[in-house]
Amino acid sequence: MVTAAPSAAVITGLGSAFPDPYAQQSLWDDYFAHRYRGDALARRLFLGSGVRTRHSVVDPRREDISDWSTAARMRRYLDEAPPLGRRAAGEALADAGIGAAEVGLFVVVSCTGYATPGLDIHLARELGMEPSVRRLLIGHMGCYAAIPGLGAAADFVRARRQPALVLCVELTSLHVQPAVTHRDLEQVIAHALFGDAAVAVVVLPDAPHGLEILDTTAATAPASEDLMTWHITDHGFRMGLSPQVPDVLAKHVEEATAALLVPIAADVTDVGAWAVHPGGPRIVDVVEERLGLRPGQTAATRRILDTRGNCSSGTVLLVLDQLRRGLATDATVVAMAFGPGLTLCLALLRAR
């Protein structure tokens, strides 16, 4: 019996959708300055986050939801997430040149809202997917979750020779926390960095053009679970973000990147493009320093941070979208993202 060779899994379509944009300075002046009582350090951290504009389904200047219950926030999530997801998925499908009915696997990624039945089943029906479509929901993995999503999609495409669609929908603005009487710098940074977005990618078997997914890997720093957290509370989900995160990341990013490149006998000097998750300015600085990258190699990352903020799981895909059209054939691309654990997830891609 002759066994068919596995298909290549190739990213051929990307799409994104955003709610209304807001200027960082205006958000500070009109809302957060009062919340933090004009604290000079809070102001410096908020305005020094590397974010100039970001998008939000909630404008805190007009609608303060900081005291809303988690149930109320989840109802709002179900109002806001589906239309953004539909727009991003539709754009990705059109970019790839396929219809929703051709999708064999639909992966939905989100850590900012929950419902059962979830976005996967609602959007599969609304987009026009077949009742037989396989669905996978990836939740509560945080900012690196797109890469496990891509890994699952790539495995499916190689094995089944059918298209897959990965959709990340994150509405972090629904989780602004109640004000506290003491200075809470972790929350200042969280409120300064995060924005809302939906981002989708289509993965096709053996497509002649696009980004072939060669491999995905993960590395979790030992005993680092408390450094980055996302706790469900009575008032939404609360971010815990230790200032030690960049230092711990610095200890592991070189080894993790080298391990990713070993199977193709490459090193960092062979990489043609870097899609680094813009977790914050210090994190980007650390990656540059430890991997010896030039500022131009992380320019797309800093541009997304500047114009979109950190949109959690979908952000690394936004960076890939910035990079993909200018790549030479056979260029090696490394995508990396960081999140709770403390975990580094990486994807190895090759331009076709």
Catalytic residue positions, numbered: 143
Instruction: Give phi and psi for 210, each to the nearest 5.
Output: 140, -155
DSSP-assigned beta bridge partners for residue 269: none
**What is the rounded distance in angstroms from the CA atom of residue 52 to the CA atom of residue 304?**
10
Tokens of 241: 């973000």
**What is the rounded distance in angstroms from the CA atom of residue 150 to the CA atom of residue 227?**
25
**What is the rounded distance in angstroms from the CA atom of residue 270 to the CA atom of residue 309?**
29
Contact 169, 110 (CB under 8 A): yes
Q: Is 75 exposed, middle or buried (0-12, 13-18, 19+ CB in 10 A)?
A: middle
Angle between helical axes of 281-291 and 299-308 (0-180°, round to 10): 180
Max CA distance (Å), the chain: 74
Q: Is 170 exposed, middle or buried (0-12, 13-18, 19+ CB in 10 A)?
A: buried
Tokens 């990147």 -> residue: 257
Instruction: Give phi and psi for 199, each to the nearest 5.
Output: -135, 135
Contact 291, 256 (CB under 8 A): no
**What is the rounded distance in angstroms from the CA atom of residue 261 to the CA atom of residue 270?**
9
Q: Which helix (H) or strand (E) holds 9?
A: strand 9-17
